[in-house]
Amino acid sequence: MGEPKMKWLFFLLVIINICVFGWYNLVAVNKEIVSDPVYAPPVSQKILTLSEVPEVVIVPEPTAKEIEFKAVEQELRDITNALEQFSSNDTNQAFCPRIEFEKEQDKRAFLPQIDALGWRYQESKVEGERQKFWLYIAAPKTRDQSSKIVKALKLRGVDSFIINRGEMKNRISLGLYSVSITAEKERNRISELSGFDVKIYPHLRKVPITVIKITDGINESEWKMFTSRMNFGKMMIKLEKNPC
C-alpha cells in the first residue's frame, strides 16, 4: 500500500510544478506587455497667462448711413472708371469715342468744345434706361390733408404737387433726381425744413438719350487734353471707347 501512495504523491508534485511553472511564465509575459513602450507623438498644451489670451474683436454691423456712404463712393468710382477706360499703353492708337447725353444742357456745353477742335461726329437719338430717384411724402388719408401738406411745404420754399392717379393717388411728389447723393441731400434738407417724413424711391426710367459718335480717329494725348478742360462730374453722360 505504501508504494501506490508514493506514486500518487509523485504525480501530484509533478502537476503542482507544471502549474507553478506555467503561472510564472504567464506573469512574465504580462509584465513584458505592460512594460513595452508606446510610441506616439508628444502632446503638450501651453498654459496662457492673462496677458497672452487673444483679444476677441467684435466688428459692428454697418449703419444705414455707412451703407449709403459706400454706395455714393461706388457711384463716384464708377464715374472715375468710365473716364479711366480711355487710358491706353499705346498713345498713338486711334479710337472713336461714343458719348451719350441724358440732358440737353450737357450736350450744349460739350459740343462747342468738339467743334472748336474740328472733330467730325455723328449725332443720333435713342431711348435708354437710367436709374432715377424719386422723392415723395406718403399719401395721407384724405385729399384735403394732402393739400395742407403742399401748402405747408410752399410756405417753406419747397415745390411739390399731389399725384392724382392709381396707387400713388394723394402722394406728394417732391422731384426726380438722377444722382443718388443729390437725392439724399434733398431728402435730408426737406425733412429738416418741414418736419415731414420724406422717402426715396429708386427705379429705372426710360429717357431720351443723345448719342454723339466722333468719326475722326483721335489718339490718347488728344483725348486727355480735351477732357482736362471738361467738368464731367456735373454731367449725366456715358463714355465708351470704340474702334473707328
pLDDT digits (tens, 9 = 90+) for 199-220: 999 999 898 999 999 998 888 8
pLDDT digits (tens, 9 = 90+) for 71-84: 556 655 665 565 55
pLDDT at 122: 93
Q: Is 187 left (phi over 0), alpha (psi -120 to 50) or beta?
A: alpha
d(CA 225, CA 221) in angstroms, rounded, equals 6
* φ, ψ dihedrals at 243, nearest 5°: -70, 155
Q: Is 111 left (phi over 0), alpha (psi -120 to 50) or beta?
A: alpha
Name every residue whose Cβ is closer than 8 Å to that of residue 184 and which is 6 or more positions away in sequence: 68, 72, 200
User: In the CATH scheme, what is the code of domain 67-242?
Assistant: 3.30.70.1070
More confident residue, 109 or 136: 136
pLDDT digits (tens, 9 = 90+) for 146-180: 999 999 999 999 999 999 988 889 999 999 998 88
Domain map (residue ranges) of the chain: 67-242
Determine the average pLDDT of the residues in 94-114.
87
Q: Can you point out the beta strands (E) in 72-171?
A: 96-101, 121-137, 161-162
pLDDT at 185: 94
Determine the average pLDDT of the residues in 109-126.
89
Q: How many CB atoms lie within 10 A of CB 150?
A: 17
* pTM check: above 0.85: no
